[in-house]
Amino acid sequence: MNTVSSLLDKEWYERYKRISRLNIRSSIYDVTNQCNLRCRGCFFFSSDEHKAAPEEMDIRKWEAFVDSEKARGVNLAILIGGEPTLYLDRVAAFYKRLPTYCATNGLIKVPRDRFPDMMVGISLWGDEEDEKVLRGKDTFAISSKNYAGDLYTYYLYTITPKQVGRIESIIRRIADAGLKVHLQLLSNDEGVEGFSWTDELLRDIRDEMDIMLDRYPNTVISSKYYHEIITTGQMLGRSFGWNECPSVTEPMDRRKPQPKRLIRFIRWAADLHTMHRCCTSATRDCSICKDGAAHMSWVMVNKRAHLRSAKDLQGWIEVYEMFAKLYRFIPW
């Protein structure tokens, strides 16, 4: 039987040891039901998750809640919404207690005197043209000014089918702003015409993502194995979907047989009691889900299956490293 040490040379084994110590336990929190944008295709609003529960307004309840999450074993708080920067006191309740990542559209700058090393992920949905169609605004023009050169910020670039063949200009602009970028694919939750994937487009974008990683290794935080997984939905001959998804809220997960999954993962609504089904849209058809974090986690929780060969295990290590970099468990 293959073991980790039998498959890896010294250098890869050192890389493996560095990540195997991390033991990341994440959960996701809706900081608010409000947003200063209304993007077409936003999973949160399109699935009415903003109506699932009212917001808790008492900051002391947020603080006590984060303490209880920490006691539950969470060591990475992923803040989403709505737009978390609308409620910085709630963000601070997490940041003071836990390693915290804040997803944002970047229109409001997180004050670095208050949150000096909090990881910030800025959502970006394409170039100026696509952003105006889907989000009503060229957000990059604002967010890149707010965060240029920030050491704890990266762009989460959601590539749309219309971007195929032209993602380089955006990646170059991000590099020029002194920032990093991670790539994922639009799931088109609201069925906007012209924004759905075909097999051919997925093949093309996979090649393009690989080229970008080779061309901008200091800017693109990614791995070719991740590109393969996210564009094909296949891992070691298995298909991504409900039966395999690792990012289902644990107390709501009654799947049988139980797949490998994120331990103790919960996605909480902003009332601090209600739970959502998974890390993304509660109403999304899992067979078309392109959620980047869910695909990354799918690889990460399936280490044993990657002991098939050195190449498979190295792919696993690269995806794990990518995740750890994105949440600053290891340096870029």
Nearer to ligand SF4, 44 or 155 (CB): 44
Contact call for residue 300 and ligand SF4 (CB under 6 A): no
Q: Which of 232, 224, 182 lies closest to 311, judged by CA?
A: 224
Q: Which stretch binds ligand SF4 (CB under 6 A): 53-61, 218-226, 282-290, 299-307?
A: 282-290
Among 284, 306, 313, 316, binds ligand SF4 (CB under 6 A): 284
Contact call for residue 262 and ligand SF4 (CB under 6 A): no
Contact call for residue 296 and ligand SF4 (CB under 6 A): no
Peptide bond into 315 cis (omega under 30): no
Binding map of ligand SF4 across residues 97-116, x = CB under 6 A, - = no contact: --------x-----------
With the C-alpha atoms ordered 258, 261, 267, 272, is the resulting torsion angle positive or negative?
positive
Tell me the three state secondary structure of residue 311: helix
Tell me the three state secondary structure of residue 227: helix
Would you mind telling me the total number of residues written for the chain in this entry?
A: 332
Nearer to ligand SF4, 180 or 295 (CB): 295
Residue partners of 17: CB distance under 8 A and separation at least 6: none
Contact call for residue 289 and ligand SF4 (CB under 6 A): yes
Q: What tokens appear for 98 in the block? A: 């836990």
Nearer to ligand SF4, 40 or 70 (CB): 40
With the C-alpha atoms ordered 64, 65, 70, 73, is the resulting torsion angle positive or negative?
positive
Tell me the three state secondary structure of residue 278: strand
Binding map of ligand SF4 across residues 9-48, x = CB under 6 A, - = no contact: --------------------------x-xxx--x-xx---
- Binding residues for ligand SF4, rule: CB under 6 A, are 35, 37-39, 42, 44-45, 81-83, 105, 123, 241-242, 245, 247-248, 278-281, 284, 286, 289, 291, 294
